[in-house]
Amino acid sequence: MDKLNQAKIFFNTFYKCIKNIKMYGNVKSNFEKFLDETYEHLQGYLNSFGPLVLNIEESKIMFENNTIYEDKNKITSLPLYFYRNGIRSITFLDAIEKREIEKFITIISQHDFSIHMNLIEDLWVENFSNILFYFVEEAPKDYSWMIEKDVPTDKFDFTLEKTESSFLNFKKIEGKEEPSIITETLENERTESVLKTVLNIYLLETDEEKRKEILTFIKDFIKTAINEGNIIELISVVDFSKEAQIPLKNFEDLIYSESALELYFNYLQDKDKREKIAEIMINGGGKILPSIKEFLKSVDSPELFKFFKNVVIEICKKDKDALSFLLPVPKSFVPYLLEIISIVKEPSYSDFIIPFFKMEEFKNTAIKIFLEVAHREKWFKFLNEDDDIRISILRNIKSIENENEFKIIREKIVDNKFWSLHPEERENLLRIFSSWRKEDVLPVFEMMLRKFSLKKEIISTKISIIRILSRMGKDGISILKKFKKSFILRNAIKEVLKNYGKN
């Protein structure tokens, strides 16, 4: 391929890169691809023909007196942007590296072509090794009049001609020790400067309107941090705000935006940052739980489950209603949810446990936690549930505490189905029932003893009643005495009466 064509192809891909950044900003959709192509074409040219020089005219990019690109648009023209900034030629050298051309493209693309006038200064600070520029600078104004009393004016030449300047080198500085300390200090300070400075300016200001205005800069800072995925800066916002006692409420919409939360989730693998992220999330309260709920769907690490468990516990401690935003949770998170409920111990959470009564693997833990958390009236509602639940609940009821509970238990005891219940359940019901007032309990027990049956389980239950009655003092004993002659019960009664007599 000839020189001209090769230069044209290079410039076209180079320009594509610039347009790509201009259109898509940080997303840089096809940027990498275009950058590779640009670098490849540039290398192709440099290897075949040596240094590549592009000259700049007002609306044209020239290569050896040929126009390779032209754009007369005053707003978007790249040649005009170069030209207005004083750049007249750009030379690429063959040792150029990809990152150098990438940096060059990024600097060119970062500002509005129609207004930015510091392109030379932007390029100057970068010290490019393989890109040379020729540029002109505006000559300074003539202020000789202000010193003409002291100085013969003919000694000064203040004609407004354009002057050339160059990218000067920095001299090598002798003695590395101090500069390296300084550079290190500078780096440390740089990371915290933006926020610290703006917050300090904010804190010194007393005018509310100005304060609001200053806060917008902090918001911009947060937005940039989120867009650039800079978790460190985002974390520093929280830290500094805390330090400066600025309520995070001011930035809530940003700090807990979907993209910010996504950023926190992405950094959870980084153990050093977890603690800070947890702090931010906890401060976010219930509103971040729907996002956590979504994220949990993609988590399979017990470590992360544990992390979220702790976060949710802290959130729920402050805001009891929050937990509902987390539900339903993926099956793998259920044990952690139960733990959350067990730790927070909020009675209203008992309803969230109920679905797990039906899940074999969680049933026992769920019932246990239910009993720890739920109000007693909820327990009694579950006395009609299936066996395991009922039995577990009965096991945990120590005594009857009110009339209503008495009624429920009485009803179960007098019901005909009572005799077909599991013996343990029957035992527990009798035990609980016996904890209520004697005048209500004794007639029921007497009635139960009167029930005629030769069935083994009925007899064993009657024996249980006898034992209970024996512990109920004089009134219980007087009932037992009524059944002393019962063929079936007499031995058992004799036994308890003997012991009663001893006592």
User: Which of the residues 88 through 117 are near another protein (CB under 8 A)?
Assistant: 88-91, 93-95, 97, 116-117
**Could you tell me where the beta strands, DSSP code E, fall in 103-177?**
131-137, 163-165
Among 4, 201, 414, 447, binds another protein (CB under 8 A): 201
| Both tokens assigned to 446 | 């007497």
CA 39, 41, 45, 47 dihedral sign is: positive
Q: In angstroms, what is the minimal distance from the CB of 322 to another protein?
A: 33
Binding of another protein at residue 58 (CB under 8 A)? no
**Of positions 217, 295, 419, 500, contacts another protein by CB under 8 A:** 217
Kindly list the distances between the CA atom of residue 91 and the CA atoms of 33, 94, 130, 314, 330, in Å, as whole numbers in the listed order. Answer: 23, 10, 8, 60, 60
- C-alpha separations of 413 from 253, 380, 467 in Å: 58, 14, 17
* Least separation in angstroms between CB 163 and another protein: 7
- Please say which residue, 67 or 420, places its beta carbon nearer to another protein: 67
161/139 Cα distance (integer angstroms): 6
Distance CA 477, CA 482 (A): 9
Q: Is 180 in the site for another protein (CB under 8 A)?
A: yes
| Shortest distance (Å) from residue 165 CB to another protein | 7
Among 112, 137, 270, 361, which residue interacts with another protein (rule: CB under 8 A)?
A: 137
Q: CB neighbours of 11 closer than 8 A, spacing ≥ 6?
A: 54, 61, 63, 68, 69
Please report, as residue ranges, which positions from 304 to 363 form the binding site for another protein (by CB under 8 A): none
Least distance from another protein to the Cβ atom of residue 94, Å? 7
Q: Is 345 in contact with 372 (CB distance < 8 Å)?
A: yes
- Report the alpha-carbon distance of residue 187 to residue 180 in Å, rounded: 11
Q: Which is nearer to another protein, 49 or 414 (by Cβ)?
A: 49
**What is the contact mask toward another protein in residues 139 to 168, using x (rule: CB under 8 A)?**
xxxxxx-xx--xxx--xxxx----xxxxxx
Q: Which of these segments, 170-178, 227-235, 434-442, 460-468, binds another protein (CB under 8 A)?
A: 170-178
Residue closer to another protein by CB (options 118, 348) is: 118
Q: Is 181 in the site for another protein (CB under 8 A)?
A: yes
Q: Pinpoint the alpha helices (H) of 205-301.
A: 208-227, 231-243, 252-255, 258-266, 271-284, 289-296
For another protein, the closer of residues 181 and 232 by Cβ is 181
Measured at the CA of 369, the angle between CA 299 and CA 280, to 5 degrees, comes to: 40
Q: State the first-to-last Cα distance of the chain, in angstroms, to the nearest integer.
A: 118
Q: Which two tokens stand for residue 303?
A: 């470590």
Which residue, 138 or 270, has its beta carbon nearer to another protein?
A: 138
Number of residues that bind another protein (CB under 8 A): 84
d(CA 45, CA 52): 7
For the CB of residue 222, give the shortest distance to another protein in the complex, in Å: 12
Classify 23 as helix, strand or coil.
Answer: helix
Cβ of residue 204: shortest distance to another protein, in angstroms? 5
Find the part of the chain contacting another protein (CB under 8 A) among 189-197, 246-254, 452-460, 484-492: 189-197
Near another protein by CB under 8 A: residue from 40, 71, 76, 132: 132
Residues 218-277 that bind another protein (CB under 8 A): 220-221, 243-244
